[in-house]
Amino acid sequence: ERIRLDEAYNVFSKADPYRDLSLEEARRVVEFLETIGLLRLTADNRLVPASRRTFDYFFGVLSMIPEVKQYYVVEREGGDVIGVLDDYFVSEYCEVGARFIMGGRPWEVESLTENTVYVRLVDDFGSAVPSWVGEEIPVPFKVAQEVGKIRRRAEEIFREGVKLAEAADIISKEYGVKAQLVEKALRSIYEGVKLGIPAPSDRRMVVEDAGDFIVVHAHFGNRVNRALGKYLAYRLTRLFGAPVYVSEKPYRIVIRTPSVTSEEVAELLLTTSPEEFRAQVSLAVEQSRGFRWRLQQVARRMGVVEPNVRLRKGEVEILVSSLKDTPVYEEALNEALRRDLDVDKAAEIITRINKGEIEVVPARGPSPLTLEHIKVLREGLEPMSPEKRELLSLISFKSRLLQSFVSFCCLDCGAVFEHPVSEVNEDTGCPYCESFHLAFDMIPEEEMAKLARRCLKSRKGRGCRGFKLSAKLYSRYREYAVLARVAGLSFNEAAKLLKKTDKLDRTAFFRQLWLKHREKIRRKASGTS
């Protein structure tokens, strides 16, 4: 039964995610869905499925969990695979010159390709972003403010000449915690006060020069500091014309950029209006790589991009420009500003700075508090030995292979079916006729069916040579042939490797595959084929 737009609106506006949606906004979404062929709005305002694609779209987006692409992280000099990063981290933090921590060591990004981040080892824990940053539990604004309040209280006590142990005892009784914990937490504040360095608090931001980077101590939590960090990076880049790299934590924002002083950063915070801040943050987000990732996710959810389609860099830019001023673009920007950042609270902080309720103080560093931050990173991230790192890389590689799927086509009965790689073995044959005369590839079942229709009629045609060769390899090598293909080898490369490794057991074969895969990445890194 066809339902009227206003009736549909009355139903879904009762759901919590859409409680603030207006009827006019709902109409705009429907009109957009008309333009991409998912819905049709009749003259009497009734909603009609436009085509079979409407139902394909509905069942294709039942899961709202974003599709996650992963990138290999490769050391350019040696070609070693350091680990893998999710696409959100890469889009948000990995541009050329940015630094992050992985495997207990800090790395600097040298270049990026469609599926690989090439890095070099550096000695900078202070401004590097931990590669697990997206997995941390965010610290809310109220909690960060309470930490700042404790530090303010401690500074007041220390300036009265009270020793660390005695001050810890006083504060521990106020909060009902052990004095030893408080003493440990406040040691860096105590040492800073002795050196005459102002302590950051809920009412004071301290902007300190710390060698190669600037630390903005700000007790506002992850999402507020992320908004402030976006603003500072955007404005500093435009003011000084140099690249700016930012890492945000719940109690600090770390900025790495040449020729910018703490006084200049402090002045920028002191002279910003809330209106300018909101506008600049919005522009910063729109121009960020993180927004492009977010836009792709929303575009998939709304049926603009098919779920299994991978967009190249040029295609992403076309998507951005073509979706401007559409509900998709607006929703992606809204999600980026409200889910990833807390722009409202950050603008409130700017207002309080303007009113003098929050101090912004430049300082010379590195302060004991910053040194403690770097020390925790260094000591808490014990580098893995090359042997252990190699073993973990091999285990990760094996796990990725076994989590994949392949599609088969039986050359005897024509059946096409999909099968998990982890379950392919010596006895895996056609489930219909039990033949082992199977062509295979790491493609969806529908694509295999199309390939089979083309290649069973003719030996010529795109992909048919590999189709026939895959069947020969499977007949002889079974799961070893499948693993070689899933590892990224062409069928010709797989044939050569399988011939050399015919007598190896499964464990040894995985290692040979891993070495071959690493060799291919090295060649790609060096620009050779």
Q: Which residue has the tokens 């309040």?
A: 149
Asked whether residue 453 is assigned to any structural domain, the reply reads yes
Q: Does residue 387 surpass a pLDDT of 70?
A: no
Asked whether residue 185 is assigned to any structural domain, the reply reads no
| pLDDT value at residue 156 | 94
Note whether 365 and 406 are same-domain residues.
no
pLDDT digits (tens, 9 = 90+) for 288-297: 878 888 888 8
Q: Tell which wins on pLDDT, 525 or 243.
A: 243
In whole angstroms, give the CA distance from residue 235 to residue 270: 13
Asked whether residue 490 is assigned to any structural domain, the reply reads yes
Q: Does residue 483 surpass a pLDDT of 90?
A: yes
Asked whether residue 213 is assigned to any structural domain, the reply reads yes
Nearby residues of 330 by Cβ (< 8 Å), 6 or more positions away: none
Least confident span in 423-427, 431-435, 479-483, 502-506: 502-506
Last residue of a domain, one of 31, 60, 89: 60
Q: Tell which wins on pLDDT, 102 or 495.
A: 495
Note whether 427 and 327 are same-domain residues.
no
Asked whether residue 74 is assigned to any structural domain, the reply reads no
Asked whether residue 337 is assigned to any structural domain, the reply reads yes
Q: Does residue 459 surpass a pLDDT of 80?
A: no
Q: Does residue 65 surpass a pLDDT of 70?
A: no
pLDDT digits (tens, 9 = 90+) for 352-376: 999 999 999 999 878 999 888 877 6
Last residue of a domain, one of 314, 345, 380: 380
pLDDT interval class at 515 (50, 70, 90): confident
Least confident span in 133-142, 341-350, 431-440, 452-461: 133-142
- Predicted model pTM: 0.64
Count of residues making up the chain = 529
pLDDT interval class at 381 (50, 70, 90): very low
pLDDT interval class at 131 (50, 70, 90): very low
pLDDT digits (tens, 9 = 90+) for 324-344: 989 999 989 988 888 778 999
CB 39 within 8 A of CB 54: yes
In whole angstroms, give the CA distance from residue 60 to residue 434: 32
| pLDDT value at residue 66 | 55
Asked whether residue 341 is assigned to any structural domain, the reply reads yes
Note whether 322 and 422 are same-domain residues.
no
Beta bridge partners of 246: 255
The helix-helix angle for 222-240 and 343-354 (nearest 10°) equals 70
Beta bridge partners of 213: 210
- What average pLDDT does this structure show over 448-464? 81
CB 444 within 8 A of CB 472: no
pLDDT digits (tens, 9 = 90+) for 177-232: 999 999 999 999 999 999 999 999 999 999 999 877 899 999 999 899 999 999 99
Q: Tell which wins on pLDDT, 311 or 526.
A: 311
Q: Residue 446 belongs to what domain range?
A: 395-526
In whole angstroms, give the CA distance from residue 168 to residue 150: 11
* β 81-86/70-75 pair status: antiparallel
CB 251 within 8 A of CB 219: yes
Note whether 284 and 323 are same-domain residues.
yes
| pLDDT value at residue 235 | 93
Q: Does residue 126 surpass a pLDDT of 80?
A: no
- What average pLDDT does this structure show over 277-282? 95
Q: Does residue 424 surpass a pLDDT of 70?
A: yes
Q: Which residue has the tokens 């998709």?
A: 328
Q: Tell which wins on pLDDT, 460 or 333.
A: 333
Query: How many structural domains compose the chain?
Result: 3
pLDDT digits (tens, 9 = 90+) for 168-182: 999 999 999 999 999
In whole angstroms, give the CA distance from residue 170 to residue 191: 18
Note whether 329 and 208 are same-domain residues.
yes
Note whether 371 and 401 are same-domain residues.
no
Token pair listed for 407: 């599609």
DSSP 344: H
In whole angstroms, give the CA distance from residue 396 to residue 263: 46
Note whether 455 and 405 are same-domain residues.
yes
Strands (E) across 250-291 are located at: 252-256
Note whether 352 and 403 are same-domain residues.
no
- What average pLDDT does this structure show over 271-277? 96
| pLDDT value at residue 67 | 59
In whole angstroms, give the CA distance from residue 486 to residue 497: 14
Token pair listed for 102: 């992985």
- What average pLDDT does this structure show over 502-511? 85
pLDDT interval class at 301 (50, 70, 90): confident
pLDDT interval class at 412 (50, 70, 90): very high
Note whether 399 and 473 are same-domain residues.
yes
| pLDDT value at residue 296 | 85
Note whether 324 and 421 are same-domain residues.
no
| pLDDT value at residue 146 | 95
| pLDDT value at residue 376 | 63
Note whether 360 and 472 are same-domain residues.
no
Last residue of a domain, one of 335, 357, 380: 380
Average predicted confidence (pLDDT) for the chain:
84
Note whether 358 and 410 are same-domain residues.
no
Asked whether residue 285 is assigned to any structural domain, the reply reads yes
